[in-house]
Amino acid sequence: MADPLNHLCHYYYTSNLDIIPHYAYPHTVVIYYEDDGGFVFRGFGERNWDSVTSLEILSNRALSARPYTSGLGPAISYVLTHAPNIHMLSVDIEHVNLPGMVILNRILGIRAEMFTVLDLGTAPMCDVSNLVLPSLKTLAVDCSRRVGVHWLPTFDAKRLVSLELNNTSHDVFLHVLQRAAGDGVVVFSQLDALVVGFGEHSNGTILPDYKTAGLQCSFPRLTNLTIRTLCSYHPDLHWMFRDAPLETLHLVGDTKFINKLDVSCYPNLYSVTAEWDQRGMLPSRVAVESRLLAPVSSIQKLHVALPSLQTLRSLQFGCRDIRSLVLSFTIPNENLQALLHQLPYLVSLNMRYTLTAKAHEDSQGYNQVNLRSIWHHVRCQWPAPISTSLQTLVIDDDKRPPHTDEYSPAFIPLIGTIARVPSLLKLILPNCPLHDDGILIPKTLNDTRIGSLATHFANVEVVFAEFYNS
CA separation for the pair 100, 33 (Å, rounded): 11
CB 131 within 8 A of CB 97: no
pLDDT, one tens digit per residue, over 358-410 is: 665 444 444 467 888 889 899 988 889 999 999 999 998 876 655 555 778 88
pLDDT given for residue 361 in this prediction? 46
The dihedral sign for the CA sequence 46, 48, 50, 51: negative
**Where in the chain are the domains?**
253-322, 337-470
pLDDT given for residue 435 in this prediction? 47
pLDDT given for residue 52 in this prediction? 93
CB 158 within 8 A of CB 188: yes
pTM reported for the whole predicted model = 0.84
Those residues of the chain that have pLDDT short of 70 are: 1-18, 33-42, 60-71, 94-105, 122-126, 145-149, 182, 184, 200-214, 232-234, 278-280, 308-314, 358-368, 399-405, 432-438, 466-470
pLDDT, one tens digit per residue, over 3-27 is: 444 444 443 344 566 677 777 888 9
Q: List the Cα angle 216/220/224 in 5-degree steps.
A: 105
